[in-house]
Amino acid sequence: MKMNPWTLSVLLLLAGPLGADPVWHVEYPDSFCVVEGSTATIPCSFTHPAGQRVERVVWCPNHEICSGTTPNVYNSSNVWDDSRFLYLGDRVRNCTLKIIKTVKQDAATYRFRFETNGDKYTGRKGVRVTVTVVKNVRLTVSSTNGEDVKVRSSVTDNVVKEGGQVTLTCTSACSFHQLDVHWYRNGHALPETSPALQLSCLTNDDAGNYTCSLDSSGQKTSAPWCLVVVEDEEKSGWRVTVSVVSVLLAVILLLLAGLVFAKRRHAQKKASVVNQKQEAASEEVSYSTVHFKPSSSRSAPGPEHEIVYSEVVR
């Protein structure tokens, strides 16, 4: 079959630059910072041509292709039970690696290799893991450099209103994504293990001293961050306003009711007097408001002219 040059160049473009097969690939961060003694999870994913089955996966330090008998930290065909390196990935596309209780000697460039029933591939770029030594501020009175574990909060001061929310973040020299963090309130361990502790619908029970720690033994612990929960002044002020207004309304309503009642009785008395005078008018008419004209304003007062009805309701 003869190909025209255009088709050929399109095919070359699809194949990727310089003939790199885009289908075989391992993706991990260039470098990863881990605090000594802490637990870190290195994110990793891989791809391979469709239809191939992954038979073996390997993670190894400081070797270009993790081949043969190269020392490794994880080998799916020979898993070491008490290893501090846990493979959280699978044999499909995830090659995430967890390092537990990192020691200084873990600092290395790690590479991921996978072998299928067709071929094998190693992510040559690798992920450079650095191990940072962090001081325990409990043991250090003056902490001036940035190597300490710290609690940072989403609020500017320590005082948060009841029902409000605050996010506490545990930080250190390393970026803290993918790290296991231990949280404590007044020295008691909390269940959360993510670097960000989210507290919402705050009540007085949430108040106290918060610390975070990068290892379960309580080393690498931050200085306490004190949370004060106060009653929402706006809400309580609003409550006072509402109760004052309702008392006033009730008083006004009572006064009005009294006034109306008094007027009614007065009107009824007058009406009965009128009824007695106008025996013929026996229609059922109720008068809601009655005005009485002073008798002096009329020169010829008759019983039927004495009263002017401003409103008549049937």
Ligand X SMILES: *[C@@H]1O[C@H](CO)[C@@H](O)[C@H](O)[C@H]1NC(C)=O
Where does this chain bind ligand X (CB under 6 A)? Answer: 45, 88-89, 94, 96, 186, 208-209, 224, 226
CB of 68 to ligand X, least distance (A): 27
CB of 187 to ligand X, least distance (A): 8
Find the radius of gyration of the CA atoms of the chain: 42
Which token pair is 266?
Answer: 């007065």
**Residue with token string 């930290």:** 73
CB of 242 to ligand X, least distance (A): 34
CB of 45 to ligand X, least distance (A): 5
Residue (155 or 271) nearer to ligand X, CB? 155
Residue (22 or 258) nearer to ligand X, CB? 22
Which token pair is 70?
Answer: 């190269």
CB of 190 to ligand X, least distance (A): 14
Residue (86 or 267) nearer to ligand X, CB? 86
Phi/psi-derived region of residue 5, left when phi > 0, alpha when psi is between -120 and 50, beta in every other case:
alpha
Residue (96 or 171) nearer to ligand X, CB? 96
CB of 63 to ligand X, least distance (A): 23
Question: Do 189 and 105 touch, CB atoms closer than 8 A?
Answer: no
List Cβ neighbours of 115 (8 Å cut-off, separation of 6 or more). 54, 55, 56, 57, 58
Residue (41 or 290) nearer to ligand X, CB? 41
Cα 91 from Cα 112, distance rounded (Å): 12
Residue (4 or 142) nearer to ligand X, CB? 142
| Sign of the C-alpha dihedral computed for residues 52, 57, 59 and 63 taken in this order | negative
List Cβ neighbours of 156 (8 Å cut-off, separation of 6 or more). none
**Burial, 90: exposed, middle or buried (Cβ in 10 Å; 0-12, 13-18, 19+)?**
exposed
Question: Do 57 and 114 touch, CB atoms closer than 8 A?
Answer: yes
Residue (208 or 218) nearer to ligand X, CB? 208
Closest by CA to 93, choosing from 125, 126, 116, is: 116
CB of 96 to ligand X, least distance (A): 4
CB of 61 to ligand X, least distance (A): 21
Residue (97 or 290) nearer to ligand X, CB? 97
Closest by CA to 274, choosing from 296, 255, 261, 291, is: 291
Q: What distance, in Å, lies between the first and last C-alpha atoms of the chain? A: 105
